[in-house]
Structure 1
Amino acid sequence: MKKALSFMVIRVFILSFVFTVPFPSTGLDLGDIRSWQEVICKDGEYWSNNICCKNCPAGTHLKSACTVPGERGQCEQCEDETYTEHANHLHRCIGCKKCRPDQEIVQACSHTQNYLCQCKEGGFCTPEQACEMCKKCSRCDPDEKAVRNCTATSNTECKKIYLPSEWSPGKGKFDLKSPLWKQHKYAIYVAIAVPVIISVLLLVVGAVYIYIRKKKQAGGSEDIGLKIEEGKTEHTHRMGGLSLIFSPPRYEPFPELIPVKGEQSLRSCFHYFEEISSYHHKRFFRELNLSNNVIQNCEHMQYEDRIDHLLGIWYEKVGKCANLNDLLKALLDLDQRHTAESIQEKALADGHYVLQESL
């Protein structure tokens, strides 16, 4: 009884201290702030200016915090193409991410939810796996039949067709008038034709190989040349009377961007990269040589905070050599030209960068 009474007195003393002594504005560790908040703030509240405020409802974001404990601050409705799915105290709403070209819209973006997308007909993505692009639906082999058609979330399921025992080798002759033969004759035709075609192709490849060997032994040689014309590089390979020209892929580079205020210009552009699709952001940061561990350690953050934090890590890693042109090139290498062009236009329009040509 005495121990319980002593514990109650200590607890009352601690709570009275918490509610009477103001929290210092600086000098507290993040873990200390969270521990005080857990004691004072309820679910659905957040800590701001030494008081607990209620979260803004879904579909809005926080404009200014409350001044009276337990009340809600000033909330503002999300703009078009932005949303907040849950109660929050974010200072701005999350930008809606549009569906990829291989997807179709199931439900449009609203103030309380992102676009709902699914793979277009002929493609699928399983819900339990990360889907950076839709996979092509499989087709059943000639000796199979579909037991379940492909959907946006599952692949085609096939089942083997087992021929009747009287059709098996050594068990009698085929009855060409049998209804079973008529039902499966195309599968049997394919089963016979495929090995024959493969055998013929192997014979052709073998004959070509022997011809080349004999020609080399007879003193013949392949003529492999490099053709340079008007700034384009083409590899020409001649064998006998056949010429093959291989042209490397051509990428149109961006004009060089020059920062107006050095490091400040680059950091001012970090939030533009929130346009990167959530399906591509991991590949983008891997392209910047950030490790998977570093990327995964930021998964708990809000998307825009995660982008800004990872770009900060990249900047610290690269140092003075960091520039916006390298980030745009990484997007081009990932075939994200539309996003790169949008970021470039914003950097120029907001006056953070100028084109080298205009200097």
Structure 2
Amino acid sequence: MRYIIFLVLLLLNISHLDLSWAQGSIKNRSSRDVSCRESLEYEHGDICCLNCPAGTYVKTACVTASEKGECKTCEFDTFTEHENGLQKCLSCTMCRIDQETTEKCTITQNTKCKCKQGSFCLPDQACEVCKKCSRCKEDEETVKGCTHISNTVCRKRSSSGSSISVTFIVVPIIAMLACILSIVYWTKSKPSKGAVTSRSPREMVKICMGDSEEVIEERQNDQNSKIDDDSQLQPFLEQNYAERELSRRLVPLNGEESLKKTLDFFEEMDVHYHNRFFRFIGLSDNSIKSTDSLFPEDRVYELLKIWMEKEGLKADFNSLIEALVYLGQRLSAENIVTKAISNGYFKYEDE
């Protein structure tokens, strides 16, 4: 009898479990049967409601399938860009300290940011921090400038071209130095007769020799000949020394490379004088404006490189120093000259 009662209770428990499982399956199946149209509806309970438009959110869901509930406009500093079934709007993004805002946040659009000038983030990578734009090395040239989504693109300069350019610069400098030394030597070694020249070219010159005096008359054409020699020498001297603001001229110790290595020194120039300085040395307004997006120190370096390419063999360190002095930047000029000499790039011509 005890075994019969145990079997009856066991059958009752199994029947109860089967009934609960069946009810759960029916409920789950009815929940899975709800299929809302993507991008048009959202699921609420066991029905589908129409999405709220962009710039709003669902304040109260619908009670009848395929109808729109109550939608409310996003509050300040929040947004929704698309039709949605969200219970609240999304918070607007704030640009980081290394970024600048290109478009402000609205109820239908998030804030748009970009890296500040002189930095970038690649579009196919997560922009956690903006990277500083690279600067091309001395033996490279810029192919493409840096933007807020791309780094500077550089390429190696042609070695044959650089060696030829160095030759074209060094040879004229050596020839000029040889001419100057020849003139100095000729001037110092010219024999002196100890004569005292009269104030009037028509007067005679007396040469005393021992107890006797010999009077030598020198004609006017001799005086004119001497004047002609001096007049032929004058243009050459004026070309090299006249109108120099600095008292002593500098010459490079390593040709064009010496000038290239001093370009960074001009970063200390007052930023307010940049445009006047580059116009003074002959750069066009288009060239100057093309570097407005760069940091001041990078801008100075790039414009000086453009100036060197434009001037070619005529590019002269002394011309840059004279331009600074002319614009009233004598202190900057003196500092740059000191650095150029201390680093072994230039020396004084008369040393």
Assess same fold via TM > 0.5: no
Question: Which protein has the larger Cα radius of gyration, Structure 1 or Structure 2?
Answer: 2
Q: Give the structure with the larger helix fraction.
A: 2
TM-score by length of 2: 0.40
